[in-house]
Amino acid sequence: MIVLERRPQPSRNWALATPLVAVLATMVFGGLLFAVLGKNPVEAIRTIFWDPLFGEFAFYYRPQLLVKGAPLVLIAIGLSLGFKAGVWNIGAEGQYIMGALAGAGVGLAFYPLDAWYVFPLMVIGGALGGWAWAMIPAILKVRFGTNEILVSLMLVYVAEQLLASMSLGLMRNPEGHGFPGSRNLNDYAAATSWINQNAGLHWGVAAALIAVIFAYVLLNRHMLGFHIRLTGEAPRAARFAGVNPARLILFCLGISGALAGLAGLFEVAGPAGQVSIDFNIGYGFTAIIVAFLGRLHPLGILLAGGLMALTYIGGEIAQSQLGLPAAAIQVFQGMLLFFLLALDLLTHFRIRLRKREVA
């Protein structure tokens, strides 16, 4: 009979090993899935994980890794702080949209003024937009005790409708011949987030790296970070230690909203270029996987963001070259989260074989 024995301390080795084992298991089962879909599994896995980095056209794909990875890391860093403290912000996608709308709104309002302060103001607008959207579930939770999971998620759908309304109405390009979508911010030099488009460098990449360092310092060297970790691991002890749960909720949701909003702004002012109905492609949800895959640790999230960006790019290549359906990549990413959660068992428990005892 197999029994689970709780470890006195979570195993450090397994905590580090599970993401790797989960990735391997996902490759195996993902390969099986691709085989069922009638594709050569080895070729599909190679196309997804190898070609973007070392294939013939890697010079084109490598910069894309930064473009796709930056928003994922930026959002996931914010989410991980909340997840650590047991504050579940599931609505990053909505905060991402609102940040993009607010930031792009600032930029469009200044058009065509060419001044150095336009872009910084847009950044502030983006952060505030995401922050404000995340404050709704935060304040409702603190004030009324409503569930932040449900409220933040409902607000994603509200934000999507707002985005549709904005790109068809208020923010529509007046010179766009009636097509939906705003002016292209890439054509407006003072408002673009690109630093070097050929290298895939935009300010979001810089912001993501700063966020990783900031989160690392916060969690390891700052009292607030200690309170976040304490609240997640022992809420009762945290209260005795004088942690103010309301302030912690406001902080965690606020920071994750602001970071998601920033990610949205950098995306809309760079890679996406304009506010349009479907400029958001689910980074806010994928970032949840990134946060868990990175074990809610800043450096882990950096690596996980890179890996997830790789599956996005590799998935696109597999789509065009092998005809692999786009949804297959989504399933693949979902699978990864499954294996990760399941294998986490080994971190907290020992599996022992024991003879059935006589009752």
Handedness of CA 121, 169, 133, 310 (dihedral sign): negative
| Smallest separation (angstroms) from another protein to the CB of 77 | 17
Q: How many CB atoms lie within 10 A of CB 206?
A: 14
Considering beta carbons, is residue 72 or 207 the nearer one to another protein? 72
| Smallest separation (angstroms) from another protein to the CB of 329 | 8
Answer whether 156's CB lies under 8 Å from 287's CB: no
Report the DSSP pairing between strands 194-196 and 201-202: antiparallel
Considering beta carbons, is residue 63 or 325 the nearer one to another protein? 325
| Smallest separation (angstroms) from another protein to the CB of 154 | 4
The DSSP H or E segment spanning 30 is: helix 12-36
Residues 6+ apart with CB under 8 A from 298: 77, 80, 212, 213, 215, 216, 219
- Distance in angstroms (rounded) separating the CA atoms of residues 264 and 276: 12
Considering beta carbons, is residue 40 or 220 the nearer one to another protein? 40
- Any bridge partners for residue 5, and if so which? 350
- Distance in angstroms (rounded) separating the CA atoms of residues 309 and 70: 9
| Smallest separation (angstroms) from another protein to the CB of 266 | 24
* DSSP at 269: T
Instruction: Using the CB atoms, write b or e for 68-95: b if 16+ within 10 Å.
Output: bbbbbbbbbbbbbbbbbbbbbbbbbbbb
| Smallest separation (angstroms) from another protein to the CB of 342 | 4
Answer whether 71's CB lies under 8 Å from 97's CB: no
Considering beta carbons, is residue 39 or 202 the nearer one to another protein? 39
- Distance in angstroms (rounded) separating the CA atoms of residues 309 and 318: 14
**Of 115, 163, 135, nearest to 268 (Cα)?**
163
Cis geometry, peptide bond prior to residue 112 (ω within 30 degrees of 0): yes
| Smallest separation (angstroms) from another protein to the CB of 67 | 22
Considering beta carbons, is residue 124 or 331 the nearer one to another protein? 331
Beta strands in the chain (DSSP E): 2-6, 194-196, 201-202, 349-353
| Smallest separation (angstroms) from another protein to the CB of 161 | 4
Considering beta carbons, is residue 204 or 257 the nearer one to another protein? 257
Answer whether 308's CB lies under 8 Å from 52's CB: no
- Any bridge partners for residue 259, and if so which? none
Considering beta carbons, is residue 47 or 347 the nearer one to another protein? 347
Considering beta carbons, is residue 203 or 332 the nearer one to another protein? 332
| Smallest separation (angstroms) from another protein to the CB of 40 | 18
Considering beta carbons, is residue 55 or 86 the nearer one to another protein? 86
**Of 97, 99, 138, 146, nearest to 122 (Cα)?**
99
Look up residue 17 and give its two tokens. 């090993």
| Smallest separation (angstroms) from another protein to the CB of 245 | 15
Binding footprint of another protein on the chain (CB under 8 A)? 4, 6, 37, 88, 90, 136, 140, 144-147, 149-151, 153-158, 161-162, 164-165, 168-169, 285, 288-289, 292, 325-335, 337-338, 341-345, 348-349
